[in-house]
Each structure stands twice: as structure tokens, then as C-alpha cells.
Chains A and B, each alone.
Chain A
């Protein structure tokens, strides 16, 4: 039974990747780093529910096997289908953001890092529905950088997804999506939380393609 679930998870994973490629021709643009299997935290902008699958689908297979998206438990455990796709297909680290929960999100994230996994996180915390390129970052990225300083923090810009699949629409538009990976950053000695988060946000937004039109 366990074998069957695992097999089904792999098939669904391939289907999601092929669907993402067919619709958006999603492409990884490795600007600041090479696609090599090192332990990394990919931190990305968040405008659409499609962001995480898109980053996941754009990674080469060896990196995709090692990566675990950090995602909200309340979303991915809502029904049986999501509870299968989130934890088993994407191998998500599910975190519960309610304050009364004993299982603190940062403990689970650090535990996943200590197991050697790479992570995908969205430091804005929520989907960005504003005109601004980024919402203010939450402290999580800084805490990870301080707790595990050897891990590369990689800014990851997902372009166009807010047009491909805006909130409230049902049909995804087939437009080209590019995922840009920038140069990794680390928390420097004596750097304050606010200074680091600002530097991280700038590193991320500098990857956004020039807006024309």
C-alpha cells in the first residue's frame, strides 16, 4: 500500500511538471548560481498558488528530489486530495502558523534543514495582492540564516504568474513563465534582522525583469 502511494505520488508529480511545462513553458534562468546539488533555501515572491509548483517543476530532477517546499498546514490538509499532493507529491514541510500550537514552525524548518533537505519558502508569508513588487518579509528567513549559516539563501523570482493565474480566476492562461535564481546571500556577522531582510528583499526584487509596456 505504501509502495502504491509512493508510486502514485511520482506519477502525479510528473503529471504536474508536464502540465506546467505545456502551459507556461516554464524555464529556470540560473543567473547567480549553478544548478548543482548543494543545500539551499530558495526564497521566492508569492503572487499565486501556482508559484510553488512552478519553482518545483523548473528545478532539474536531482535538485527536485532534495527540495521541500515549506507550506501552510491549514491549506494542504483541508481535504484528502491536498493531503496527498502536498506532503507526498511535493514532500512539503507543513507548518502550522497558529500561535497556540506547540509544534513551532521554525523547529520543523530547522529539523528539515538538519536532515539535509533544501527548502522553498515564501518570506512574504501571504500572497501579494498589491501593486508593490514585494510585501515586507517575515523574520523566518533571518532566523534560518542565523541558525544554519552554511546554507545558501537563494533569491528566486517567479515572473508572470499573477497574470497566468490571478486570484479568483479558474482557467490558467498559457503565458511564458520564467523562474530566475540569483546569487546566494548569507546573514553577515553582526547584521541586524531588519538590515538583512531589507538586503534579501532587494536581492529578490532586483531579479524581476524590467517591466515594459
Chain B
């Protein structure tokens, strides 16, 4: 086995260890309840842990398979996220072709460009080509009603669900690790620090949170976010051995990614609130939709990518 494989397995077994501990904790709490009663908070917690088991298994397998596995996994995430996003946007039948192009042409091409490592293309494909060409396709159908809203919301969906998400696998292309197959470990690093920060932000926000960041939008508090970012930085320090960043670099990048991610999830909360939905969909039990699960990673990925590129590239 190569070093990379050993490291991925270590990460996976470490995550499984944490999940076993969390599952065990939940079962103990369940056993301590009065027979026949159910605590809804506990049941939500257990459903979430179950979904986490699935996610660790999927991400771990993808990392082990290597580049192709990562591409397929995140292309699928992009598809699911774009589907959730565009379900809630404004559209007309005149947009049918441009929406079909977004799903079946723009999305796969973006991942082909990322897979080819064609940096000059995948960083401009959606912000330039899709941005200009898809509205033309919509305009050709001659319906001007709510036109700007329609094309703007579609473009926003593509940026979020395809462009941003594709920057997670694009980390492989940065070429800053001595051994190219170690680059997949940066993906494990990003996903773990951001998700772990989120988890502890939620926990501490519930426990000691007092001051809401954006009342009326989200229950996130300054206390929770501070603890979450600190937890992400600690996670970054513990995981610095799998990265080429060194200890301080890993801590700083983990903190930046986690903070951007948490504030980014406020943006999603605002969109959901505006559209009158609680979750983006029902596809991940206990978590809502793919966008609910990925929201912080979506915001963190491009920032993380460009910070790494700037300082280490």
C-alpha cells in the first residue's frame, strides 16, 4: 500500500472511531429514556449520525479510488445541488433549453475540464461562457417576462452548485504536493475541518450562544461561530500531517475556510427564508438536502483553493 492509501485509511478509521463514539453516546441516551417516550432532539441527532456514516463511507471510498472517484462523487453532488437549487428558482418554459444545457452540458463539461486539469478553462467556463451564452439561448425564445430574474437566478445556481463545488476536486490540480496522489488528502482536509467546525458551532451555539449574528435569518450566534472556528483550527492542527501546509499554514487555512463556510451558510439561510422552505430537499435523512449538507463547503472551497494557490502555488 502506498503512503497515501495508508493515510486515507487512517483518516477513515479515525472518522469511524468518532462516529462509533457518537452513535454509542446516542444509544446510551436512548436507553436512559423512559420506555415508550421519544426525545425529538435525540432522534434528529441519531438520524444525522446515520447520514454521517454514509457520507464518511462515500468520501472515503472516493478518496481511495483517487482522482476519478473524487470527480464522480463531486459531479454527482453538483447535480443534486443544482437540482435542488433550480427547483426553487424563477423560470419559464422559454428557459427550458438553457436549463437543460446547464444540467446536461455545462455541468459535465466543468468536471471534464477539472479532470483534465485545464485551469485556464474551468476557472472561466461558468463565469464567462455559461454566463454569456445561456441567457442568449433563453432570449431566443422571445419571452421577456421576469427575464433578468430568470437568467440571474439560473446563473447563481450554476455558480453555487457547479462552479464552487467543482473547486473541491480542483484542489488535486494545484500541484503543490511532492507526490501528486497525495493531493486528494487536501480534499479530506478541507471537508473535515469545515464539517467538524460546523458540528461544534451547532453544539456550542445551542449550549452557550447568546448573541445572534443575523436574527430573523438563522439561529447562528457569535459564540457558536467563534467556538466552531476554533474547533476547525484545532482540527486543522491535528490534521496538518496530511497536508503540505505546515502546522501554522494548516491552522490558518482551516480557520479561514471554516469562517467563510459558516457565514456562507447564512446566505443559504436567507435564500431558504425568502422562498419559504425549511430545507432544500429531503434527500439526506436528518440533514435536508445536498445544499443543506454542503452549504459551508460550497463557500469555503473556492476561497480555500485560491488561498492555497496564492500562498503555496
Query: A160-202 vs B: 1/0 string, CB under 8 Å?
Result: 1001001001010111100000000000000000000000000
Given contacts A173-B99, A210-B276, A212-B274, are A25 and B83 in contact (CB under 8 A)?
yes
Residues in A whose Cβ lies below 8 Å from that of B196: none
CB of B39 within 8 Å of the partner chain: no
Q: Which of B21-29, B67-75, B85-93, B226-234 contacts A (4 or more CB under 8 A)?
A: B85-93
CB of B111 within 8 Å of the partner chain: no
- Contact, CB under 8 Å: A175 / B87: yes
Residues in A whose Cβ lies below 8 Å from that of B275: 212-213
Q: Which of B87-128 contact A (CB under 8 A)?
A: 87-91, 93, 96, 99-100, 103-104
CB of B281 within 8 Å of the partner chain: yes
Query: A27-67 vs B: 1/0 string, CB under 8 Å?
Result: 10000000000000000000000000000000000000000
Tell me which of A163, A169, A212 contacts B276 (CB under 8 A).
Answer: A212
- Contact, CB under 8 Å: A160 / B87: yes
- Contact, CB under 8 Å: B103 / A173: yes
CB of B283 within 8 Å of the partner chain: yes
- Contact, CB under 8 Å: A25 / B90: no
- Contact, CB under 8 Å: B96 / A166: yes
Closest to B83 in A: A174
- Contact, CB under 8 Å: B83 / A176: yes
Residues in B whose Cβ lies below 8 Å from that of A27: 282
A76 to chain B, nearest CB (A): 26
- Contact, CB under 8 Å: A173 / B96: yes
Interface residues on A, range: 10 to 19
B6 to chain A, nearest CB (A): 36
- Contact, CB under 8 Å: B87 / A171: no
- Contact, CB under 8 Å: B83 / A175: yes
Cα distance, A166 to B89, chains bound together (Å): 17
CB of B163 within 8 Å of the partner chain: no
Closest to B102 in A: A173
- Contact, CB under 8 Å: A173 / B88: no
B268 to chain A, nearest CB (A): 15
- Contact, CB under 8 Å: A176 / B100: no
Cα distance, A160 to B89, chains bound together (Å): 12
CB of B299 within 8 Å of the partner chain: no
A118 to chain B, nearest CB (A): 25
- Contact, CB under 8 Å: A171 / B100: yes
B140 to chain A, nearest CB (A): 15
Given contacts A173-B99, A174-B79, are A25 and B274 in contact (CB under 8 A)?
no
Cα distance, A212 to B283, chains bound together (Å): 21
B28 to chain A, nearest CB (A): 32
Residues in A whose Cβ lies below 8 Å from that of B201: none
Cα distance, A174 to B83, chains bound together (Å): 6
CB of B84 within 8 Å of the partner chain: yes
- Contact, CB under 8 Å: B276 / A174: no
- Contact, CB under 8 Å: B79 / A169: no
- Contact, CB under 8 Å: A213 / B88: yes
Cα distance, A166 to B97, chains bound together (Å): 11
Tell me which of B80, B84, B96 contacts A169 (CB under 8 A).
Answer: B96
Residues in A whose Cβ lies below 8 Å from that of B96: 166, 169, 171, 173
Cα distance, A27 to B283, chains bound together (Å): 9
Cα distance, A173 to B89, chains bound together (Å): 13
Given contacts A169-B93, A171-B104, are A176 and B87 in contact (CB under 8 A)?
yes
- Contact, CB under 8 Å: A173 / B100: yes
Cα distance, A43 to B86, chains bound together (Å): 28
Closest to B289 in A: A176
Residues in A whose Cβ lies below 8 Å from that of B86: 173, 175
Residues in A whose Cβ lies below 8 Å from that of B100: 171, 173
- Contact, CB under 8 Å: B88 / A25: no
- Contact, CB under 8 Å: B103 / A25: no
Residues in B whose Cβ lies below 8 Å from that of A174: 79, 83, 103
Cα distance, A174 to B281, chains bound together (Å): 13
Cα distance, A122 to B236, chains bound together (Å): 57
Q: Which residues of A contact B (CB under 8 A)?
A: 25, 27, 160, 163, 166, 169, 171, 173-176, 210, 212-213
11 A-B residue pairs with Cβ-Cβ distance under 8 Å, sorted by A, are A163-B93, A166-B96, A173-B100, A174-B79, A175-B87, A212-B88, A212-B275, A212-B276, A213-B89, A213-B90, A213-B275
Q: Which residues of B contact A (CB under 8 A)?
A: 79-80, 83-84, 86-91, 93, 96, 99-100, 103-104, 149, 274-276, 281-283
